[in-house]
Amino acid sequence: MTTSELDLRNPRIVVTGGAGFLGKQVIAQLIRAGAPAEKIKVVRSQECDLRQLDACQRAVDQQDVVIHLAAHVGGIGLNQEKPAELFYDNLMMGTQLIHSAYEAGVFKFVCVGTICAYPKFTPVPFHEDALWDGYPEETNAPYGIAKKALLVQLQAYRQQYGFNGIYLLPVNLYGPEDNFNPRSSHVIPALIRKVHEAQLRGDQAIPVWGDGSPTREFLYSTDAARGIVMGTQHYSQPDPVNLGTGSEISIKDLIELICDLMGYDGELVWETDKPNGQPRRCLDTKRAQAAFGFVAEMPFRQGLQQTIEWYRQHA
């Protein structure tokens, strides 16, 4: 194995969070790229508490590649309700796993970060070099800073120990099998569920957090997984890399599109006393394309339709 190109037919790969929404897609993409299913180890939170050092050590023992997806994460509501848990859980999982992987002689560590790490007022599109130009948006800051600390750790371990760790920054994800729990879901699944339940009840109005002005960028889960696997195969540099589409949509336009796709014509009531979150999110995706050829493929309307169809079948 070389540091620039990784043949996935050979290494033993552990995927933390491999049973989750993104993890299932990453495993499918690993197999599609040539990794034997029997060489992929899935670490599930129910069986392995990565906040504990011994669990991290067991997870990476005799493994060649670690893809760290596991996270304690949610939308604005969860960030407001449990900032301490989000900071502690994500920091302890990541930092102990990285150190355990280094001690175990792991060949490559792939850390999936978060765009919540970017400053609140980052020039659009967000370029990776802007990560340290300010403090994150307040409601996301504990989570974002905990995840950003892992980038510092990987760069430090590379400098001192020659440890090959990379850091990928996917934008907001969506797709079938997402988390639709209203207490912890992100904006797309939360809005889909809200519209679906309003239709079932016959409600003529739907409350929506904020004023609709913030913009967000969304990456279909299959595209995100493909980008992570491409980075695993072809990228071994210290600089962080964005994974996204390079296009943004306002929350107002998003909810109107969801209502259109779901056939709901009720009123939208904006709860302007609720937080908007970060004003804008849209990534510069040139580095991923140049470094390992990643370009998102799923058209947003089509991906949204498939997500809605999946939810309606499983609600």
The two three-digit tokens of residue 204, written as one number: 């003529």
Residue 12, Cα to own-chain centre: how many angstroms?
23
CA angle, residues 301, 307, 311, in degrees to nearest 5: 145
CB burial class (10 A; 0-12, 13-18, 19+) of residue 255? buried
Nearest to 111 by CA among 175, 160, 47, 50: 50
Cα(285)–Cα(139) distance, integer angstroms = 25
Nearest to 100 by CA among 141, 67, 56: 56
**SS3 category, 85:** helix
Catalytic sites, residue numbers: 143
Cα(306)–Cα(221) distance, integer angstroms = 11
CA separation, residue 12 to residues 72, 108, 202, 281 (Å): 25, 11, 52, 36
The backbone torsions φ and ψ at residue 309, rounded to the nearest 5 degrees and listed phi first, read -60, -40
Q: What is the dihedral of CA 88, 99, 31, 170, to 10 degrees?
A: 50
Cα(90)–Cα(70) distance, integer angstroms = 8
The pairing of beta strand 241-243 with beta strand 165-170:
parallel
The two three-digit tokens of residue 218, written as one number: 């969304």
CA angle, residues 28, 30, 36, in degrees to nearest 5: 100
